[in-house]
Amino acid sequence: MLTKRIIPCLDIKNGRTVKGVNFVDLRDAGDPVELAEIYAKTGADELVFLDISATEEGRRTMADLVLRVAEKVNIPFTVGGGISSVADVDILLQNGADKVSINSSAVKNPQLINDLVAKFGSQCIVVAIDAKEVDGEWIVHLVGGKVPTELNLFDWAKEVEARGAGEILFTSMNHDGTKNGFANEALAKLSTELNIPIIASGGAGTIAHFTDAFTKGKADAALAASVFHFKEIAIKELKEELHSKDIPVRL
């Protein structure tokens, strides 16, 4: 059985790690490279870096940050934000990223998924989906959750898989930063209907929430930010608890 992954997420704005609630009210959480080093040494399986203002501000993800992180950490890491072309991905992977995450650009140009997969392989391509439950339907949102689309989460996720993406990073905007638990019903539906790994994001507040994401939500990985950045949950302790519940993790 594949081990379940624990993934700290570092949202980057102006070169600093930030964290908010429901995608707003950001506060500083530290230097991203320093945090990355700590997480790599304390048991994180992977890292995700998201330049949360790149798409909004119309500029590329910081390739120099990728270089600095690659020099310091020995675990896989994914970079996202403002990626809209094969050339963007080429730079990031050459600088040391293991995977890239695309979101708004994939919705605006779905062929980009196919093009990236053809060039770099499915294993490198993560499609991030930010969705909000509105009147019982999960609606995909863009530009850091600011712009609603007409896309349904599950329909879009199936298309993403069909186009060759290797993983989906699903963030529930309803749950993001609330620390009330992950969107387990939606996660379970995604995990049941798709064959590629699903990363759960949005809502981690306690160790029990991670347990629920893996058991009730059937997620392959769970991503969190503030509970790790502000030392509310230690990754070692989290993994030991998951292991005690017979959830396969790398200790």
Catalytic annotation, residues? 11, 130
Kindly state the DSSP code that residue 44 receives in the 8-state scheme: -
Other beta carbons within 10 Å of 94 = 11
Q: What's the CA gap between 118 and 124, in Å, rounded?
A: 11
Q: What's the CA gap between 53 and 34, in Å, rounded?
A: 21
Q: What's the CA gap between 164 and 99, in Å, rounded?
A: 14
State phi, psi for 75 to the nearest 5 degrees: -115, 155
Structure tokens at 156: 């879009």
166 CB-contact burial (10 Å; exposed 0-12 / middle 13-18 / buried 19+)? middle
The one-letter amino acid code at 13 reads K
Q: What's the CA gap between 156 and 62, in Å, rounded?
A: 28
Strands (E), the chain: 5-13, 16-21, 24-30, 47-51, 77-80, 99-102, 125-134, 137-142, 147-152, 167-172, 198-201, 221-224
